[in-house]
Amino acid sequence: MNDAERQTARVQFDMESLERVRREWYCGLVDEQAERDSATVTLLVYSLERLTGWLLSFGASAKVIAPERLKQLVTAEARNVLANYPPSPPANLQPRGAPRRSIAVSARH
């Protein structure tokens, strides 16, 4: 792929992920704009599809700003991942914040 076929993508990362972004993104980091709790970076991209998988590895720590096509790819792939899981947790798992049941334990001597 030549330089004419490359494009850029703008992604917002939380500050904890920024060092990993700098270390791992092999195509190049073009620009970085620090904000309060995050940084928006401009990445040089050869393939939006390949970038999609890498961005999903950050979970909620990454948010695509542009291009719109990348937003669509990330959204579609996240939905595909979600489809692999049941819509509600199994009955033996309690959601966070649910009251816990106490179990009385008696000591026998």
Q: Which run of H or E residues covers position 65?
A: strand 62-66
Alpha helices in the chain (DSSP H): 15-24, 48-56, 68-82
Note the pLDDT tens digit of each residue in 42-71: 999 999 999 999 999 999 999 999 999 999
* Structural domain total, the chain: 1
Q: Can you give the pTM of this predicted structure?
A: 0.75
In a domain, 29, yes or no: yes
In a domain, 96, yes or no: no
Q: What is the CATH number of the domain that holds 33?
A: 3.30.70
Measured distance between the N- and C-terminal CA atoms of the chain, rounded to whole angstroms: 77
What are the phi and psi torsion angles at 55 (to 5°)?
-65, -40
In a domain, 87, yes or no: no
Cα 71 vs. chain centroid, distance in angstroms? 12
In a domain, 90, yes or no: no
In a domain, 60, yes or no: yes
Give the range of the structural domain holding residue 59, as residue numbers without chain letter: 3-82
